[in-house]
Amino acid sequence: MLLLLTAASALIGCDGKPAPSETDSPGDDSHSIDTHDSPVDDSDSTPPDDTHTGDDTSPTGPPRVILFIGDGMGTEQVAGAGMFSTGSAGTLGLETLPVHGALRSASLSGITDSAASGTSMSTGTKTWNGHLGLDRGGSTLENVREVAKARGMATGIVTTDRIAGATPSSFLVHTEDRYSYAEISALIAADLPDVALAGGTVDMEGLLDTTAVDVVTTATELAAWTPGGKPLVGLFASSMFPYVYDGYGEAPSLADMTTSAINTLMADPDGFFLMVEGARIDHASHADDATRVFPETIAFDEAITSAMAILPSDATVVVTADHECGGLHVISSNGAGVTPSVEWRYNWHTNTDIGVWASGPYTDVFDGQRLDNSWVHAVLDAAVTQTDVVAPDEVPLVDGYLTDLPEAVVTQPWTSSFDPQYNRLDALHVTSDADGLRIGIDGVFEDDANAVLVYIDIDYGDSTGWPHDDVLTDFEGGSDKVISNARLAFADPTFGAERVLVSLQAEEAFQNQPAGDTSGLRDVTAESDFGWLQSAINFDSGNVSLFDAPAVDAGVTDEGFEAQVLWTSLYGTGTPTVDRRIAVVAVLVNDQGTWISNQALPAFDSETEAGGGTATLVSEVELDVAGDGSVVGSPMVTP
């Protein structure tokens, strides 16, 4: 029993994600894999059955379940860590686990943050970025740690982040704001797991009754600690741990914390659940810091290797990430002990597929598959309860994976006048729901070049929209320049766009961050510097040409660009409130807007219509929407 003593003061976010003051191929029969590429070939992967018996390895004892999360750890971080460790990719301990697959990580907000991704893995339910243990409407979700606890199992959390960081908190608390550290810390103190080893002395200050909780603060104290029936809380840094590269001082390694936690939790005859996070992989990736990211990844791998050495053979072990960070590309190895040559795309999260490596009961559902990360919870829940794996509910996501959209309204008849392996608009999907207008484009999109413009007429037929021969007078950045320079004429005089959705250089838009410099939704009727509205834009992993190479999935249908425009960004209301007719046109242009590709949806009349002058669009996709946001009838091309 622990005692809540005082409320901690409000704290500033320092977990590497944006806060008020911070930046936040299948193997052979032995399952070997080259992690320098995507973990699986997703072009024809078949989803697993709705239920799974777990007969790949049947548990013979109580549930022993561990989830390892390398925060921000994409397959390139894994490949580069192997190069740094041994000189070659594919050499980490985690890669020796028998099950290999890939996961998609998008949240309801599009590109995920750690809170939403952690919640998906801990509860099986998709939510908005920033939410911890809550669904889209703010209702509490039971997480796998709570399920294990209710079944009498021991539970634990190990992380190199602060204890109130987003990933550990997604297994510990339920709140709408991942940055409300004082609230989160109090909730953690009120419901401690049996073992919690982390940073965050500042988080828990004044919240722990040391007569009811064993608190250790150094590696020496942790090694000397013996169980006495109290929860063990290790707080080894004021906030997050130092980077491995910079030295831990008196703090234990992630491997030491992991083995201590396992040895403690395995004493429970009812079994245990443990989550282990290598948090600072993400922080180094936010900083585009190759010097530090690979030692962090190796330290995470050492924790996995240490765990596998002491776990029983029927333990369920899942290793994955919450998302990739930084858009890392490893160019080449420079030998063991030397940082590989790398490029970074930018300094935030990406939608790139993440790897999943696993061992033990229930995990073969991952093998050779490309699944949503909510399947992690499905496997963990099955392992904890020793029941069948049940497929999670599928929900529409802005992830560039377009199978959750209706059939395309129009397809592209012309071969791209830009290189088709790098730039193509193949088909256009348009629909809507209670959240907003949803748009998908099958195709290929080039990073650091060109732009996609989607013109949206929110009251088609009233001719109230932007006169397209006008130039914007309130420039915000590169996106405004593209919109202003693109010389388009519309044969239909009733078409007038009030909004332009733009993705410049294949940049994503984050729903809660209407930036506008390189992507977002532009209100072209506004005459102020506040013309950027909330939207989410995302690309499927593989359909973006990166680092001057052709897109991996060029030619794969049902993947590409996907966007969601909230009704509040179109009409200022939660839903349209009255029936509306919306019209949409998509066009591919260069990154200045001065040259228009022949790629438009609906298509230009002629394959050679576009160029450096004014291009004429002869039709639009029309969508009738009811007052509740639902589609009336079917989208159509007009006139």
Task: Report the pLDDT value the prediction gives residue 13, as an integer from 0 to 100.
Answer: 31
CA distances to 30, 91, 106, 296, 342 from 86, in Å: 21, 7, 33, 15, 17
Are the C-beta atoms of residues 295 and 84 closer than 8 Å to each other?
Answer: yes
Residue range(s) in the chain whose domain bears CATH number 3.40.720.10: 53-390
How many CB atoms are closer than 10 A to CB 494?
A: 16
Task: Report the pLDDT value the prediction gives residue 44, as an integer from 0 to 100.
Answer: 43
> Order of strands across the sheet with 64-70?
214-216, 232-235, 195-199, 154-162, 272-278, 64-70, 316-320, 354-359, 99-104, 370-372
Cα–Cα dist 424/598, whole Å: 9
Which residues in 266-409 belong to E strands, given as ranges?
Answer: 272-278, 316-320, 324-325, 329-332, 341-343, 349-350, 354-359, 370-372, 389-390
CA distances to 249, 314, 380, 539 from 360, in Å: 35, 6, 11, 33
**Is the pTM for the entire model greater than 0.85?**
yes
How many CB atoms are closer than 10 A to CB 445?
A: 27
Alpha-helical (H) ranges within 251-289 are: 254-265, 280-286
CA distances to 27, 39, 55, 248, 262 from 34, in Å: 8, 7, 27, 31, 30
Cα–Cα dist 617/587, whole Å: 9
Are the C-beta atoms of residues 583 and 623 closer than 8 Å to each other?
Answer: yes
Cα–Cα dist 441/585, whole Å: 11
Name 249's Cβ contacts closer than 8 Å, sequence gap at least 6: 242
Task: Report the pLDDT value the prediction gives residue 14, as an integer from 0 to 100.
Answer: 32
Task: Report the pLDDT value the prediction gives residue 434, as an integer from 0 to 100.
Answer: 93
Task: Report the pLDDT value the prediction gives residue 466, as an integer from 0 to 100.
Answer: 76
Task: Report the pLDDT value the prediction gives residue 19, as an integer from 0 to 100.
Answer: 39
The helix or strand, by DSSP H or E, that contains position 455, with its residue range, turns out to be strand 451-457
Task: Report the pLDDT value the prediction gives residue 26, as an integer from 0 to 100.
Answer: 27
Cα–Cα dist 366/596, whole Å: 43
Name 193's Cβ contacts closer than 8 Å, sequence gap at least 6: 145, 149, 155, 156, 157, 172, 231
pLDDT exceeds cutoff 70 at 47: no
List the one residue out of 195, 216, 118 whose CA is nearest residue 149: 195
Lowest mean pLDDT among 10-24, 246-260, 521-535, 621-635: 10-24
* Mean pLDDT of the chain, nearest integer: 89
pLDDT exceeds cutoff 50 at 4: no
DSSP lists the bridge partners of residue 589 as: 451, 596
Are the C-beta atoms of residues 418 and 599 closer than 8 Å to each other?
Answer: yes
The helix or strand, by DSSP H or E, that contains position 481, with its residue range, turns out to be helix 478-485
pLDDT band for position 427 (50/70/90)?
very high
Cα–Cα dist 245/290, whole Å: 11
pLDDT exceeds cutoff 60 at 177: yes
Task: Report the pLDDT value the prediction gives residue 514, as an integer from 0 to 100.
Answer: 61
3-state secondary structure of 371: strand
Cα–Cα dist 87/264, whole Å: 36
| Start-to-end CA span in the chain (Å) | 71
**For helices 290-310 and 75-86, what crossing angle results, to 10°?**
90
pLDDT exceeds cutoff 80 at 96: yes
Name 398's Cβ contacts closer than 8 Å, sequence gap at least 6: 106, 109, 110, 438, 511, 536, 537, 538, 562, 563, 564
DSSP 530: -
The residue that leads in pLDDT, 468 or 547, is 547
What number is the average pLDDT over the span 302-322?
A: 97
pLDDT exceeds cutoff 80 at 37: no
Amino acid at 381: D
DSSP string of 109-164? TBS--HHHHHHHHHHS----TT-BSB-TTS-B---HHHHHHHTT-EEEEEEEEETT
Task: Report the pLDDT value the prediction gives residue 40, as an integer from 0 to 100.
Answer: 53
Task: Report the pLDDT value the prediction gives residue 30, as an integer from 0 to 100.
Answer: 28
Quick: pLDDT tens for 441-459. Answer: 999 999 999 999 999 999 9
pLDDT exceeds cutoff 90 at 222: yes
Are the C-beta atoms of residues 95 and 303 closer than 8 Å to each other?
Answer: no
Give, in degrees to the nearest 5, the angle at Cα 128 between 21 and 155. 90
Cα–Cα dist 517/450, whole Å: 14
Task: Report the pLDDT value the prediction gives residue 57, as an integer from 0 to 100.
Answer: 61
Task: Report the pLDDT value the prediction gives residue 172, as an integer from 0 to 100.
Answer: 98
Cα–Cα dist 599/595, whole Å: 11
Q: What is the CA radius of gyration of the chain?
A: 25
Percentage of the chain lying above the pLDDT 70 cut: 89
pLDDT band for position 493 (50/70/90)?
confident
Are the C-beta atoms of residues 292 and 244 closer than 8 Å to each other?
Answer: yes
Lowest mean pLDDT among 132-136, 340-344, 527-531, 616-620: 527-531
Q: Domain 53-390's class?
A: alpha beta
pLDDT exceeds cutoff 90 at 232: yes
Cα–Cα dist 320/94, whole Å: 10
Task: Report the pLDDT value the prediction gives residue 631, as an integer from 0 to 100.
Answer: 95
